[in-house]
C-alpha cells in the first residue's frame, strides 16, 4: 500500500505540473480536447491503459 501511495503521489505531481507551469496553454489544450469525438478519446484512453499495463509488467522484473 505504501508503494501504491507513492506512485499515486508521483502521478498527481506529473499531472498537475502543466497546469501549474502553463495555465493559459492548458486552457487552450482542454478546449481542443473538447472538440475530439468521444470514440477517439475512448480509443486513446484504452491505448494509454494498455501501454501503462505493459510498462508495469516490464518494470516488475
Residue 2, domain member (yes or no): no
CA distance 17 to 33: 18
Write down the pLDDT at residue 16: 95
pLDDT in tens, 28-58: 999 999 999 999 999 999 999 999 999 989 9
Residue 17, domain member (yes or no): no
Q: Taking the model in full, what pTM does it have?
A: 0.70
Write down the pLDDT at residue 59: 87
Residue 50, domain member (yes or no): yes
pLDDT in tens, 8-36: 999 999 999 999 999 999 999 999 999 99
Residue 46, domain member (yes or no): yes
Q: Which helix (H) or strand (E) holds 8?
A: helix 2-21
Write down the pLDDT at residue 60: 84
Residue pointed to by grid coordinates 507551469: 21
Residue 61, domain member (yes or no): yes
Residue 33, domain member (yes or no): yes
Q: Give the contacts of 26 (CB within 8 A, at least 6 positions apart).
A: 18, 19
**Overall domain count for the chain:** 1
Residue 5, domain member (yes or no): no
Domain extent, residue 50, equals 24-61
Amino acid at each position: 500500500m505504501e508503494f501504491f501511495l507513492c506512485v499515486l503521489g508521483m502521478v498527481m505531481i506529473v499531472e498537475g505540473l502543466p497546469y501549474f507551469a502553463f495555465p493559459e496553454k492548458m486552457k487552450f489544450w482542454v478546449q481542443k480536447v473538447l472538440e475530439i469525438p468521444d470514440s477517439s478519446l475512448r480509443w486513446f484512453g484504452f491505448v494509454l491503459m494498455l501501454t501503462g499495463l505493459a510498462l508495469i509488467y516490464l518494470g516488475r522484473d
